[in-house]
Chain A
């Protein structure tokens, strides 16, 4: 197999139209402006506008976890809050310093705080049972660790379902050196989902009726309109696989707007959060998805967004109209409103069962128009990891193995030769069709997995309802419900393939082994697992200290799973080995696979899990680095 090295000197057009190398563009600008631009503290406006985040800064923080009555829906309900705030205080740290956080638990249950995305000693990670024993009621735990990174992060309780009820807050770390991202003003935007129901009730409801919160199922009127549109035979054909598999193509979110009120910085859409800008300013918006179960799609109608960081780590700027945020991911974008106006920061849940929003305005008197939600996504057979649609069935004779990875590929391009296809996901499949004697090898660092998809014996059983035979690449795909946005609305949607690290790849070693993990579950029974084995029955994943390893995640379910590996970076292989972006949470799309590299440079025990709160208890692994 040949992979031609993509040029490292790809050119990008800067906003002014001058052609510069990508890194020159950013650093060049920062060198000129960094000295004259002091990042604004957003709290200068906090009192003037709606409920915003309260910021604490310094090196020593006293935090307390308490119950508090809140009211987001007209009904009072009990929240779990930090320092009596919902969300908890925004912690502002400085790279290179050491912070101390004294966390007092005033709940009548064990609690904890986990610093999501922080590279820190294992005993400071805050995962009960792995890093420490948890914080008993009435006790105070003192966390102290050096800060080795900058950017946008967050923290949350890792105990029980406390995260659902408000035990989270934002972290912003100012860089030690000049920030390569230039901005005049910033706003931190914490997105979350609130329910008046107790999380234990939500979980029990899902176990008893997995589509409990789904009010978007197919109905008979859909059936008749489908038959009218496409005829009886095609309607039957389109539905028969779903019906045979006993799955729903409307199964987008387990928990929906039927119980959730979506919040922005703790404000419901009924009383939206408001943020100010001045005409011509470069405004940095730090988005954090701190929800329990909700994947959000973010856009600001009328404004282009330039993504400058993902999961706290700077990336080469990419200008887009819309992006999807898995639970726990963070994205920093720069917007430059050219006029005095009001814009709607519009954040819809992936299943379009609700939204939250912010009024981003140059004047408190202006209110932005709220756009309509986009149509609800409908799953396709490709999202089941079996791309049957439009497939020439005569080719099936090649054997399903040889077809793996070929889906979505334009077959007319096959003649162009492998050189021009370099870096394209899906090459592995072609390789197999050319020769059956290929020994599984490790793909080159940065390009992702070459290996065959193998379903383990442990995936067979009542706990697993689906296996992806031909998982697609999760890289170039904007994802369900966003795939047609470029064509239909002329909106450029961010994909993982767009992410390139701003800084050169730190560890350029090739991976020495690959771990293929299958994200598995039984939607109907509401059971979640990895490789068919739930956390309670699993053995830890062992990594050798300092090894460079590739983790390939294969999604054998129809849900997106945002997978979060604690303690070390997940270096997403997006096709450029020299500028691999570092993430802490990676969305794995339904019926898809995705790979990242890990340098196991942090000794100890770490958690590795799906960040959907009600998947986490089962879809969880202990990782031991020794």
Chain B
């Protein structure tokens, strides 16, 4: 069960579910499960602040899953971001999954396609880490590292600091992207879990562009750093 292509994976999933129905215990050890998490669905408090979302979903078993990750932002019809990733994920260590697949940046246009190789898991001291390496269709490369932690103020009131950094190997003029460190995003959200599966939150979000990307933004008269108060909900099922 180590190396899977997607066909092999599908077959294995079908086999596993057929076999598990024979389980002597009667209860399935490793049932096919699905999961959809709206990690963020939020709006800035100022009227011209963007609305943004980040959703992850998977279907699969303990060791092998198909993941979908999507995130996007909408400010006005000119300023939109929408990215989708489809990944095959395999458990490689007690706390780590390797993930590979495809990413398409649908907005802004023109769209870009990437190959994705990533790892996701829980680092010591309970840091949730999502690290990804991308190779673009024109040979561009990019890395993204996301780190998140949960601080329990009470059992239901939870403060979540998070941090994301992006870097690109090559500039992409059409998308106003310079090479090198492009941007950093940091957020602090305070959520109240009404149930484990549903929590409204308030927070602050701060982002800053760097290097050539920042120069391009400046040149275009855009802002290099941006901070906003946000309100949103997080939910999963």
A contact residues vs B (CB 8 Å cutoff): 110, 112, 127-130, 134, 158-161, 200, 203-205, 207-209, 212, 215-221, 243-246, 461-465, 522, 524-528, 534-536, 607, 609, 613, 616-618, 620, 622
Contact = CB atoms under 8 A, between A and B. Distances in A.
B11 interface: no
B25 A620 contact: yes
Interface in B51-94: 62-63, 91-94
A462 B63 contact: yes
B31 A243 contact: no
Nearest to B237: A208
A215 B62 contact: no
B33 interface: yes
Interface centre among B26, B93, B122, B155 (most CB of A within 10 A): B26
A565 B20 CA distance: 22
B7 interface: no
B126 A617 contact: no
Given A208-B236, A465-B95, A536-B20, A244 B125 contact: yes
A220 B126 contact: no
Contacts of A212: 196
A217 B23 contact: no
Nearest to A111: B26
Contacts of B93: 461-462
Interface residues of B, number: 36
A215 B155 contact: yes
A265 B124 CA distance: 44
A458 to B, nearest CB: 14
A220 B25 contact: no
Given A207-B33, A208-B236, A522-B94, A616 B25 contact: yes
A204 B32 CA distance: 9
16 contacts: A129-B24, A161-B27, A200-B31, A208-B236, A212-B196, A219-B154, A220-B151, A220-B153, A243-B124, A461-B94, A463-B94, A465-B94, A535-B23, A535-B24, A617-B23, A620-B24
A200 to B, nearest CB: 8
Interface string B9-31: 00000000001101111111111
B152 A220 contact: yes
A461 B26 CA distance: 26
Given A522-B94, A536-B20, A613 B27 contact: yes
A616 B24 contact: no
Contacts of B91: 462-463, 525
Contacts of A208: 33, 35, 236
A243 B151 CA distance: 13
Given A158-B26, A246-B122, A536-B23, 8 more contacts: A129-B22, A203-B31, A207-B62, A217-B155, A246-B125, A461-B94, A536-B30, A620-B25
Given A216-B155, A617-B27, A536 B92 contact: no
A532 to B, nearest CB: 11
Contacts of B33: 204, 207-208
Nearest to A222: B152
Nearest to A110: B26
A127 B94 contact: no
Contacts of A160: 26-27
Nearest to A462: B91
Q: Which 4 A-B pairs have the closest CB atoms?
A: A617-B29, A129-B24, A462-B91, A159-B26
Contacts of B30: 527, 534, 536, 617-618
A526 B156 CA distance: 22
B227 to A, nearest CB: 24
Given A220-B151, A534-B29, A128 B124 contact: no
A128 B24 CA distance: 6
Nearest to B29: A617
Interface in B196-234: 196
Contacts of A528: 29
B4 to A, nearest CB: 14
B153 A221 contact: yes
Nearest to B19: A536
Contacts of B124: 243-246
Contacts of B236: 208
Nearest to A213: B196
